[in-house]
Amino acid sequence: MGILAREPLLWALPPADRAALLAAGTRRHFGAADRMIQQGVADDFVIVISDGWAAVRADAANGRAFLLALCGPGDVVGELSVLDGGPHNATVTALTALEAHVVSGACFHRFLANHATVGVALLRGMALRLRAIDAHSRDLATLPVAQRLARLLITLDKDGSHHAPAVRLPQQELAAAIGTTRESVAKCLAALRARGVLVTAGRQITVVDRVALAAIAEV
C-alpha cells in the first residue's frame, strides 16, 4: 500500500554518517497526538525519528484527510521543504510517544554537502516513496474496499520491529489509508473475523490466516 517506508533513511546510511546526522540535531520528545509538522507551513528543519511512530496526513479541499504514510524509527520527515523552500504538503502527527532529533535547515544542507553518500540515499528514498505513492494511487482507483484493506493489513502485519506498532491503528486511520469510510472498514473487518482470517481486540488487529488474507488481497 506504500504507507510504510521501505528503506528508512537513517538505517540506509553508514554508521559514521548516521551518528553525524544525529549529532547535528537537537534531541526532542513528542507526546502522542503532538503535531510535529503542519501542512502549508514552510519550516526550515528536518526531523529524524529515532523511536516511536507518526502519521503523515494530507487535507484535501473537500475537508477529508488522507493518511499518506506511517513513519517510524529511522525515517526523516520535513526534508522536502528544507530542500525546495516550499510549504509542507502534509501534516505529521505523533501516533505514540516519540523521540527524535530536530536538525535545522542550514545544518542539514551542510551535512549533505559534506557527506556524499547521504545525498544518494536521500534520492533513493524519494524514488522509492514516489513508486509507492504511484502504486497506492492505482490501488485506490481500481480495487474494491475489501481488497485494499487486505493489502494494507498484509503490509502492516510484516514481521520485524519496524512494523510492529502499525497493527494498532484505529479504524478511522485504516479508512483514511485506503480512501474509504470507517463504516466500510468495520464491515470488512467483521467479514474477515467471521471467516477466521483475523481477530480484533480494541485497536489491536491480529492476522491468524495470512494465506487467506493474501488470497483476498491477490498479492
**What local confidence, expressed as pLDDT, does residue 45 receive?**
97
**What local confidence, expressed as pLDDT, does residue 132 receive?**
77
Which residues fall within 8 angstroms of residue 217, CB to CB, at 6 or more apart?
147, 150, 151, 153, 154
* Residue listed under C-alpha cell 482470517: 197
How many Cα atoms are found within 13 Å in the side-chain-facing hemisphere of 211?
0
**What local confidence, expressed as pLDDT, does residue 162 receive?**
42
pLDDT beneath 50, residues of the chain: 1, 159-166
CA atoms of 213 and 207, how far apart (whole Å):
8
Q: Which CATH class is domain 9-139?
A: mainly beta
Q: Report whether CATH 3.30.420.40 matches the domain 143-217.
A: no
Domain ranges of the chain: 9-139, 143-217
**Structure confidence by residue, pLDDT tens digits, 155-205:** 777 644 444 444 577 888 888 888 899 999 999 999 999 999 999 887 788
215: DSSP letter: H
Closest CA to 174 of 163, 188, 195, 160: 188
- The sheet carrying 54-59 orders its strands as 35-37, 91-94, 54-59, 65-71
